[in-house]
Structure 1
Amino acid sequence: MTYNGNFYDNIKIEVIGYNPCAEVYPSSSDGTHIGIGAVALMANAAPTGFGYKWYSTNRTTQVGTSKNFTTPRLTTTTTYYLAYVHNVSGCITEKIPIKAKILDHNFVKKFTARKAGLTESIIQNASPSDSYKETTYYDGLGRPMQNVKRQASVNGKDLITPIAYDPFGRKAKEYLPYFETTGIQDGSFRSNALATQTDRSIAIYGDVFAYSEKAFEPSPLNRLEKQTAPGEAWKMGSGHEIKFARRTNDNNPEGINDQVRLFRVNAEGLPFSEGIYSPGELWVEISDDEDDNRTLTYTDKQGKIILKKQQETADKESQGPVGWLSTYYVYDYFDKLRVVIPPQASKILSEIGWDQSVNSDLANAQYFLYRYDARKRLIKKKVPAKQASHMVYDQQDRLVGFQDGNLAAKPSMNWLFTKYDGLGRIIRTGFTTDKRNREELQAYLDTQSGNNARTTANTAHTRSESDISSVKYDGYKVYLPAKVSDCEQDSG
């Protein structure tokens, strides 16, 4: 084609522009301040080549150009906007709202990662599928007043648990959590949580009694008289409360002796009866469950449980041993638990005579027996119809060797050993062959000044057939096997 005798070409050229801000999205956590004051906001790190722009509530007035922005003095929660700006082209990303929250409650936030490899900032700002976010708000006395789990319900709503106190500072009611159907789900404090929980309880639980309740006795001791579970069927006054009462032994409306046996421990570690407790020597806690079944717990003046009786076939007002499941707890003069006489053994003794409590055959078949050394460490444990278990310790009172009847009968692997590092952490467990009895092995361990297993950062510990576990911590990589008996601790 010619024009004025000259040739020319008509070529269509399409210019495609590139917007570096199209796929970049700013992010930041909301800022908070307790009471009136300035709020510090901080954006998450922008990609390379981008800067920051902060805008006021009208989204057009620029108020900051750095990663950190401190608001002026605020009296109420205010929304600001954040965008990233490309340093070369000058394009601006989408503006996102960031709240500067003015709170009148202290709070503690707890973040829990749901997958590995997340940084602290990611955990705090990640989606609910990546991290759990929980906030507990406190009143001016430091008491929890509300717990909010952000977007923790199955439909992505906040789970709010209100906490209330009676005029004496007691939690007389404990409410079940609820979720809202509308509103921003950001883990914030709900000022009308109690009223909303009551309104939402029917829709969520199908019951207006979406709380448990406690009734206290009218005294400064704040002891419970009744306690209920959530639900109308279990509410206060339904007859299905857990009821509590207390008295001294033999002080009951019927005037019947409780007949609580007084046991001591003989030289063989077996219980013998010295008669029954005198009236007023024991404190009795009475508990009637939802089905009106009674449990009686007898404690001495030092708070040790002496007897626990659970109603079986007896009338709950009866006091003798018949018709009750009775468990006796027997202590030595150092207040260490030495014998537990379970209900079946108590029943047998009530039939054949309490003077038979020292019968070794009965003890082997029915009793739980415990023995301690001079340092009050448990060294022997015997449970019904089973061989005794033995324990040995290092000089730091850590359990380093254990042997039950099965291990003692084996020609090899006689002891289960445990090794610790210098911080008291378990680093190795396994079996070892050592024919010494408990007394001999403990006597040897008492002479050892070094009680920690030896570690190295260069040599790998290869598990042998006798090893059960080998644990590695930061700071060293491996563990050397002991050069002496595995129940003995290496120096280090």
Structure 2
Amino acid sequence: MVSFKKIITSVTIGAVLICQHGAAQTNAPTIDTKAAAATAVVYKPSAYSGVTSVNYIRTWEPRQPYIFESDVISSSRLVTQVGHSSQYADGLGRPLQMVNWQSSPGQKDLITPSVYDPFGRETYKFIPYTATGIDGFLKTDPFGDQSTFYGTTYQTQQSAYTNEAIYYRKTVFEASPLNRISKSFAPGNNWAGTEGGAVERAVNTQYLLNAVSDSVRIWAITNNALTYNGGDASTNIPVSGNLYRAGQLYKSVTIDEHGNSVVEYKDNEKHVVLKKVQLAATPGSAHIGWLCTYYVYDDFGNLRFVIPPKAVQAMLVNGIWDLTAGNNVIIAELCFRYEYDGRRRMIAKKVPGAGWVYMIYDKRDRLVFTQDANMG
């Protein structure tokens, strides 16, 4: 092994090439569906002005053996011998532009520019593009070059992208100091281009509090000692007798571009106590029409029990919120269980359909012994 006087970090950029020879394509579309025109105003920042010197971090990746550092960073190296990338930063140390030297399939520079709003947020995230140059240096008009690449060069190669004009992701933040995301648009006319239109195709996030109609169950669990002999099936089983009152939980609703929702409820310690994924086209406000997963924690915040959707559905069918109903089949076959010692180390776990797995640690908190159900 050869040691350098300095550390040369590396970033690996991989490419996958799939080749077919003599294969016929079936069910291929006979026409290209062009992108619809964007309803949103296209955002394109101006070129950099007054650029004299910019801070950057350059990373080299040797692709063959070298003895000295000077051999690796030599400007005479070909991209097949040594690859390098340069991360340029603005005056505040924020990423300004990433230049991957000759990293495109045609061995051109691959550029990823960044831009920030007055609050320092990356509202627009521009997708990478292939530059015309091969020097690996900062590009002074990356946004104009990107527009030229995707608007002319790329559309010549891919006619289906004709009319595309939006080459960035768009994030809309709520008007508060919390800077929480309220909308997120994917790149393209059919996504970010729909902002402000009659039908917006975005991922929307709502930040609410739970209501009584949500019917979120309160689960309590004990912390009794285990027997470690496989007879712990009925030890530390959660019980639920009450519902959370209105306003006790943080409720976040994420609605994707197709109108499907994912709802999460968190307690005051930010533990997710219930996650609901929309199943029916018109679900109810509680559990009907949702895939519901409950997470049960002890007083120390350790995750002790996970009650998956099938277990929740079984209790709904039984008409009683009791995990032990039906001879403990729900617990044994559908639930995840975890146990901890006084130092919050996991000492036992059980996954659906399997027996207990016990764990023992030494004084340095290292796992030294594991016993599954077949070893009992």
TM-score range, shorter chain: 0.7 to 0.9
User: Which residue number corresponds to residue 351 of structure 1?
Assistant: 317
1:241 aligns with 2:199: no
Q: Which residue of 1 aligns with 2:136?
A: 187
1:119 positional shift: 4.0
Q: Which amino acid counterpart does residue 336 of structure 1 have in structure 2?
A: N
Q: 1:211 aligns with which of 168, 190, 197?
A: 168
Superposed displacement of residue 282, structure 1? 0.2
Per-residue CA deviations over 1:257-299 (Å, capped at 9, x if unaligned) read: 1000000113422111031101000000110112111000000
Q: In the superposition, relative to structure 1, how do residues 112 and 258 fare at CA in structure 2: closer, same or farther (>3 Å)?
A: same
Corresponding residue SS for 1:356: coil
Name the residue aligned to 2:187: 230
Q: Counterpart of 2:69 in structure 1: which amino acid?
A: E
The match for 1:123 among 57, 72, 85 is 72
Give the equivalent residue in structure 2 for 1:387.
355
Give the 3-state SS of the residue equivalent to 1:362 in structure 2: helix
Q: Name the residue aligned to 2:217.
A: 261
SS at structure 1 position matched to 2:263: strand
Partner of 1:332: 298
What residue in structure 2 maps to residue 399 of structure 1? Answer: 367
Alignment map for 1:69-84 (pairs within 5 Å):
none
Task: Return the letter of the residue paired with 1:378.
Answer: M
1:371 aligns with 2:344: no
**2:256 aligned partner:** 289
| 1:91-490 matches, cutoff 5 A | 103-117=52-66, 119-125=68-74, 126-181=77-132, 183=133, 185-202=134-151, 203-204=153-154, 206=161, 207-235=164-192, 236-237=194-195, 239-250=200-211, 257-266=213-222, 267=224, 268-315=235-282, 318-359=284-325, 360-406=328-374, 408=375
Seen in structure 2, the aligned counterparts of structure 1 residues 293 and 119 have a Cα distance that, compared at 3 Å, is: farther
In structure 2, give the amino acid aligned to 1:204. Answer: Y
Q: Does the 8 A contact of 2:66 with 2:72 survive in 1?
A: no
In 2, are the aligned partners of 1:273 and 1:357 still within 8 Å (CA)?
A: no
Q: What's the CA shift for 1:405?
A: 2.8
Three-state SS of the structure 1 residue aligned to 2:214 is coil
Per the TM alignment, residue 361 of structure 1 is displaced from its structure 2 partner at its CA by: 2.5
1:110-141: CA deviation from partner (whole Å, max 9, x where unpaired): 12223445643333233212232111111111
SS of equivalent to 1:109: strand
CA distance in 1, matches of 2:216, 2:279: 17
User: Does the aligned pair in 2 maintain the 1:379–1:392 contact within 8 Å?
Assistant: yes
Paired AA for residue 98 in structure 2? N
On the 8 A contact 1:113/1:130 being kept in 2, the answer is yes
State the distance in 1 between where 2:333 and 2:128 align.
49
* SS of structure 1 residue aligned to 2:292: strand
Equivalent residues of 1:269, 1:369 under 8 A apart = no
**Retained in 2: the 8 A contact 1:371–1:378?**
yes
8 A contact 1:271–1:358 mirrored in 2: no
1:353 CA drift (Å):
3.6
- Distance in 1 of aligned mates of 2:369 and 2:201: 49
Between the aligned partners of 2:67 and 2:139, the Cα distance in structure 1 is: 30
Change (3 A) 1:399 1:131: farther
**Residue 314 of structure 1, CA deviation:** 4.9
Higher normalized contact order (CA 8 Å, seq sep 6+, divided by chain length): 2
Q: Give the Cα separation in 1 of the matches to 2:143 and 2:236.
A: 57
- Counterparts of 1:168 and 1:142 in 2: how far apart (Å)? 15
Instruction: Please say if residues 273 and 354 of structure 1, whose CA atoms lie closer than 8 Å, have aligned partners that are also in contact.
Output: no
Q: Which whole-Å deviations, capped at 9, do the CAs of 1:223-273 have from their partners, x for residues lacking one?
A: 1111011122222425321111111001xxxxx610000001134221110
Q: Secondary structure at the match of 2:322?
A: helix
Q: Contact between 2:314 and 2:330, CA under 8 Å: does it hold in 1?
A: no
Query: d(CA) in 1 for partners of 2:357 and 2:73?
Result: 49
Q: Distance in 1 between matches of 2:251 and 2:205?
A: 11
| 1:196 to 1:386, Cα distance in 2 relative to 1, 3 A | same
CA distance in 1, matches of 2:67, 2:312: 58
Q: Secondary structure at the match of 2:316?
A: helix
Alpha carbons of structure 1 residues 399 and 120: separation in structure 2 relative to 1, 3 Å:
farther
For the Cα contact (< 8 Å) 1:246–1:286, is it kept in 2? yes
Separation in structure 2 between the aligned mates of residue 214 and residue 118 of structure 1, nearest angstrom? 47
**How many residues matched?**
299
1:103 CA displacement:
4.7
**Who is 2:22 aligned against?**
none
1:239 is matched by which residue type in structure 2?
Answer: E
AA of the residue aligned to 2:119: F
Distance (Å, rounded) in 1 between the aligned partners of 2:73 and 2:361? 44
Shift of 1:350: 1.7
Q: Could you tell me which amino acid in structure 1 is paired with residue 54 of structure 2? A: H
User: Whole-Å Cα distance in 2 between the matches of residues 234 and 355 of structure 1?
Assistant: 42
Cα separation, 1, equivalents of 2:65 and 2:358:
41
Whose strand fraction is larger, Structure 1's or Structure 2's? 1
Q: Aligned equivalents of 1:277 and 1:335: distance in 2? A: 18
